[in-house]
């Protein structure tokens, strides 16, 4: 799909929008609105689209808004690209008919695009094998557990031949404008970008998340180096003296830095990070409670359970049942 500045006057592309109940309205709007704007700005129909649901009925977004479907999964559709837009808990979606339909479309050379939790559905259908991909960071732990052999990247979106994957949220805007530029030129893409007050393009590989400095609101480089090491060594926590050496200060000085910038001791901070990761894994993966404890540096299930309950007021098993 080379980029060019010459619009193809003969082609109107049809887009399929497979919406799964609980999809995020932001992800949906970020994808479809640039194509609508492209039609308006070009003064002609460059794109048309059809909404699809599993059963052909209306689909509800996570905020309760409803969208009417034009057709059901399995019905014939002549589309250039099918966007699969899912949110909530894509792990829980299990519909053999949908997966079979996605495989059928892949065989017919339809371009498949997974948005937010959509890549999970593409992977479960077996149409992502051998392709690079990305997924919303919130779905990544469950994705990596379910599909450990797939190549996942941390960027906003990935275009790999006939497979497109996107983190969702506002990243859909970046993906859609990229496609408009490839198909109708940089001038129209720039007009669409300006229409949506997108003053600076975001490249595909840009990180989905804020930097560590922005996330924790700390500017001290020594503290940031230690926090990065903590996040990288959850399964085998580093000794406090090792952390001090990474920071290039004495352990006593490191404690003073953490008291000043984090309002907690080094040990308290490290334990909090490990427990927050454990809670995330319990909510978003099918790993056993024991496996989660080990992954977060707890050598015994009893220690993990006591420590988790002391922080969250419930046991890891109770947190898993809540999921």
pLDDT at 246: 97
Counts of helices then strands in the chain (DSSP H, E): 14, 11
Pick the CATH number of 13-195 from 2.40.70.10, 3.20.20.140, 3.30.1480.10, 3.40.50.880: 3.40.50.880
Q: How far apart are CA 314 and CA 161, in angstroms?
A: 46
pLDDT in tens, 222-233: 999 999 999 999
pLDDT at 321: 82
What are phi and psi for residue 48, nearest 5 degrees? -130, 160
Sheet containing 71-72: order of strands = 71-72, 47-53, 13-19, 81-86, 111-116, 163-166, 157-160
Q: What is the CATH number of domain 212-322?
A: 1.10.10.60
286-319 burial, b at 16+ Cβ within 10 Å, e below that, comes to: ebebeebbbbbbbeebeebbebbeeebeeebeeb
- Contact between 219 and 213 under an 8 Å Cβ cutoff? The reply is yes
Residues counted in the chain: 323
Cα–Cα nearest to 105, from 129, 127, 86, 89? 127
Give yes or no for residue 88 having a pLDDT over 70.
yes
pLDDT at 7: 45
Residue 23's pLDDT band, with cuts at 50, 70 and 90, is: very high
Pairing of strands 151-152, 132-133: parallel
Residue 2's pLDDT band, with cuts at 50, 70 and 90, is: very low
pLDDT at 285: 82
Top-ranked range on mean pLDDT: pick from 3-12, 135-144, 175-184: 175-184
DSSP string covering 155-216, please?
BSEEEETTEEEE--TTHHHHHHHHHHHHHH-HHHHHHHHHHTT--S---TTSBSS--HHHHH
Give yes or no for residue 9 having a pLDDT over 90.
no
Residue 323's pLDDT band, with cuts at 50, 70 and 90, is: low
pLDDT in tens, 249-278: 999 999 999 999 999 999 999 999 999 999
Q: Could you say which DSSP state residue 14 is in?
A: E
**Rounded mean pLDDT, 201-206:** 94
- Helix pair angle (266-284, 301-312), 10° resolution: 100
In the chain, where the domains are located: 13-195, 212-322
Cα–Cα nearest to 261, from 222, 311, 209, 212? 222
Secondary structure E strands in the chain: 13-19, 47-53, 59-60, 66-67, 71-72, 81-86, 111-116, 132-133, 151-152, 157-160, 163-166
**Rounded mean pLDDT, 28-49:** 98
Q: Could you say which DSSP state residue 61 is in?
A: B
What are phi and psi for residue 248, nearest 5 degrees? 75, 30
Q: How far apart are CA 69 and CA 51, in angstroms?
A: 5
Cα–Cα nearest to 168, from 112, 207, 116? 116
- Contact between 73 and 52 under an 8 Å Cβ cutoff? The reply is yes
């Amino acid at each position: 799909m080379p980029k060019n500045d010459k619009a193809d006057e003969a082609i109107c592309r049809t887009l399929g929008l497979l919406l799964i109940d609980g999809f995020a309205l932001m992800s949906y709007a970020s994808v479809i609105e640039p194509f609508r704007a492209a039609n308006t700005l070009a003064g002609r129909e460059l794109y048309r689209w059809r909404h699809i649901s599993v059963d052909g009925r209306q689909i509800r977004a996570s905020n309760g808004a409803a969208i009417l479907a034009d057709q059901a999964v399995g019905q014939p559709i002549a589309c250039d690209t099918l966007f699969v837009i899912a949110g909530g808990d894509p792990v829980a979606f299990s519909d053999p008919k949908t997966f079979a339909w996605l495989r059928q479309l892949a065989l017919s050379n339809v371009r498949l695009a997974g948005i937010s939790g959509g890549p999970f559905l593409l992977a479960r259908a077996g149409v992502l094998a051998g392709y690079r991909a990305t997924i919303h960071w919130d779905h990544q732990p469950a994705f990596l557990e379910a599909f450990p052999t797939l190549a996942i990247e941390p960027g906003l979106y990935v275009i790999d031949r006939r497979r497109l994957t996107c983190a969702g949220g506002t990243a859909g805007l970046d993906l859609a404008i990229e496609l408009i530029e490839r198909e109708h030129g940089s001038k129209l893409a720039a007009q669409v970008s300006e229409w949506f007050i997108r003053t600076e393009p975001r490249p595909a590989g840009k990180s989905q998340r804020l930097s560590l400095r922005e996330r924790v609101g700390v500017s001290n480089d020594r503290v940031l180096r230690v926090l990065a090491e903590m996040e990288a060594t959850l399964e085998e926590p580093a000794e406090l003296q090792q952390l001090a050496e990474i920071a290039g200060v004495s352990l006593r000085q490191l404690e003073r830095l953490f008291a000043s910038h984090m309002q907690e001791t080094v040990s308290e901070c490290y334990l909090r990070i490990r427990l927050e990761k454990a809670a995330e894994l319990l909510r978003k993966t099918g790993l056993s409670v024991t496996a989660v404890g080990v992954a977060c540096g707890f050598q015994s299930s009893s220690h993990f359970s006591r420590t988790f309950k002391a922080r969250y007021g419930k046991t890891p098993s109770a947190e898993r049942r809540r999921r």
